């Protein structure tokens, strides 16, 4: 049996077990030996990170050719219209090439834990929550996509990878399952 850990990565934590600069890492939260992240989540992003001790499963989850869908709740600066979001639906070209089409919709603000530090609030600038589903995972891709259409990301929380969901896990909590 393979081990699989579902972890709610807090803001500011690196998706690795060591850091020469002493920043918070996975080892500060997960005492399990012999598991490794299946993919990454940026230091300034939050939410679901999967870890496993099975190299094949890790490859199946993380490798772009497998097109495993990832779902993000993204708070953006501004109020995008459907027309503003249309380029994401078609796929846009970033510096490292075209993206696959994304599934994007405006959602009500989700019931999430407070972020520490909080997202800066600006009285005169609205913000909007989006649900973005992509089947690739380039470096900072979602942030670059929203910036490319003129709506910078303020907060990004990954809530689902393939069939695995964040569920009720709070930041820093993890759940181990056998697969």
Catalytic residues: 42
- Exposure on the CB side of residue 172, measured as CA atoms within 13 A: 7
C-alpha span between 68 and 59 (Å, rounded): 11
């Amino acid at each position: 049996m393979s081990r699989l850990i579902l972890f709610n990565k807090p803001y500011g934590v690196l998706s690795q077990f060591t850091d020469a600069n002493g920043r918070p890492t996975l080892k500060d939260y997960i005492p399990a030996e012999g598991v490794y992240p299946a993919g990454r989540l940026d230091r300034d992003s939050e939410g679901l990170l999967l870890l496993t001790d099975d190299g094949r499963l890790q490859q199946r989850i993380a490798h772009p050719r497998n097109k495993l869908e990832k779902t993000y709740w993204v708070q953006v600066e501004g109020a995008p219209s459907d027309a503003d979001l249309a380029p994401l639906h078609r796929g846009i070209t970033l510096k490292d090439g075209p993206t696959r089409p994304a599934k994007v919709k405006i959602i009500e603000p989700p019931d999430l834990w407070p972020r520490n530090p909080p997202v800066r609030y600006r009285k005169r600038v609205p913000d909007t929550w989006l649900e973005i589903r992509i089947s690739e995972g380039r470096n900072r891709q979602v942030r670059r996509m929203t910036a490319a259409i003129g709506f910078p990301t303020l907060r990004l929380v990954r809530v689902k990878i393939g069939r695995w969901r964040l569920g009720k896990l709070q930041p820093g909590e993890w759940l181990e399952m056998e697969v």
